[in-house]
Structure 1
């Protein structure tokens, strides 16, 4: 085994751009059009992310909706803005479904009524942060943030997949082709090392595999206190040492490994990405899937 490691600005333009068409084995990319609506303003990174979060709530959340409440800095700002809109009477009868303990706490402080997610829950719209969104495909990585033991990547992913409409609120650097860094993988705790070794062999030379620790420093074996999720799973961080050519192909490989329960790769279409940048923010929408066989 190699290593077990670890705007308020108005919309000014509406463009149609052809998405990239890389070859993926014996698959090809069908031409797919992404609507980009750039806004322009002189904002610092924090202000532009706040404006993007507020835009997401004001544009996509309507009275009477059940809303999936994401986790992370941008989602926190969106939750706060949603609470203010409820308090002012601009929105009514909103119910939130939090994706994490942190988002539940933020929503409670903002005065948003909450319900617990069930497998049959109807979710009209959800927003979330993302660790990275693959350019063109909109395939997304979530789950890199530090988890509390009672939190669940599985629940977060389930809520996002259950939503009729989904938006990710990210910074400009997080939207690109050839994403880098780690992908979290949930595995069975029993015989976890065999699963980690198999994943390491699958990506030999391209990634390192570390078991995530609950406290202290991460290490190849997760330290003396490996993280155990509320479902009883360990988390492996598959850390890619070079840009990832295709998140879709990585997800397919992981899905075939014995002991893998789930992972932080999500592909949800239709999907909207609200991208904060120093010039304001851009809104990209993908309405149809674009990978087809020969």
Structure 2
């Protein structure tokens, strides 16, 4: 891996082919500065609260819906063109619910706790992805159980750092992990749920993804793994080992982060837009020494997108079915 803090970039459009891909990927060069929105920087509390309440209570069973919300908020929920009144619940009494990490997830957990206390829901059990969500759930009186390999999870919701338009492929783990947080544990629980819902702001729902993708690698011979990833995305991304404290250079300084499973974390920082996030995930999974990464590609998956004008609900399974029709 290059020893300088900035890796070389090409000055024009750059295409490359890698054996792990079935087709060529093109990264388009942009000259503007890099802007990264993370789960910990969400600030639109009112819009996110509406999204959290919607996720906790309401489910729209069709794509492209225009429907007046009946959950106590006056916002109009807009999803393009097909009108329907077929509104079901995301969360029903007796369900096991996976609790993701982030500000919006905390709001949804709070709201579920209020519904339990009011008697609107009963016998809800939460499965937390991290200590933070477990703490919030415990404070509002939601019973918890730890995830086991065969545990049933009816629905899970979580924040995402950014979501790819249409596919709803998501990136998690950009923010600094605290204590017992684990990308591996979070992805396992979210992946085990029968239904997965991401709660994001409209700024995080994008077609031109860039910025950091966290990659967990084996600590032994980590440099070789980092160099292979560097070569894989040469000219389009920088590879930095994440430090445990403060700021450090590309090598992670004297105190690199070590996860609770004993792995180092590389931040693969794309400065060119990524056309297909799933292709990046496939490439990373072919690299020796890579244990896990922060990309989630899931069908079916639903995104609840909060904005000042209301909510937009998108289901990638319905998009896929519409494309086949």
CA distance in 1, matches of 2:241, 2:284: 15
Provide the residue aligned with 1:92 in structure 2: 122
1:220 to 217, 233, 250: 250
Distance change (3 Å), C-alpha of 1:4 and 1:58: farther
Distance change (3 Å), C-alpha of 1:230 and 1:110: same
Helix, strand or coil for the counterpart of 1:241? strand
TM-score, scaled to structure 1: 0.84
Helix, strand or coil for the counterpart of 1:242? strand
8 Å CA contact retained: 1:99, 1:159: yes
8 Å CA contact retained: 1:178, 1:246: no
CA distance in 1, matches of 2:318, 2:248: 39
* 280-289 or 176-185, which deviates more: 280-289
Q: How far off is 1:82 after superposition?
A: 0.8
- Residue 270 (str. 1) matches residue 300 (str. 2): yes
8 Å CA contact retained: 1:149, 1:227: no
1:165 to 190, 195, 220: 195
8 Å CA contact retained: 2:242, 2:264: yes
Bigger relative contact order, structure 1 or 2 (CA pairs below 8 A, ≥6 apart): 1
1:250 to 239, 256, 280: 280
8 Å CA contact retained: 2:106, 2:136: yes
Q: How far off is 1:286 after superposition?
A: 1.8
Q: How far off is 1:132 after superposition?
A: 1.0
Q: Name the count of aligned residue pairs.
A: 259
Provide the residue aligned with 1:52 in structure 2: 51
- Residue 78 (str. 1) matches residue 108 (str. 2): yes
8 Å CA contact retained: 1:269, 1:289: no
- Residue 200 (str. 1) matches residue 223 (str. 2): no
1:133 to 163, 169, 181: 163
1:124 to 146, 151, 154: 154
Helix, strand or coil for the counterpart of 1:114? coil
2:23 to 14, 22, 25: 25
Provide the residue aligned with 1:2 in structure 2: 2
Helix, strand or coil for the counterpart of 1:146? coil
TM-score, scaled to structure 2: 0.76
Helix, strand or coil for the counterpart of 1:25? coil
8 Å CA contact retained: 2:166, 2:319: no
8 Å CA contact retained: 1:4, 1:210: no
Helix, strand or coil for the counterpart of 1:287? helix
Superposed CA RMSD in Å reads: 2.1
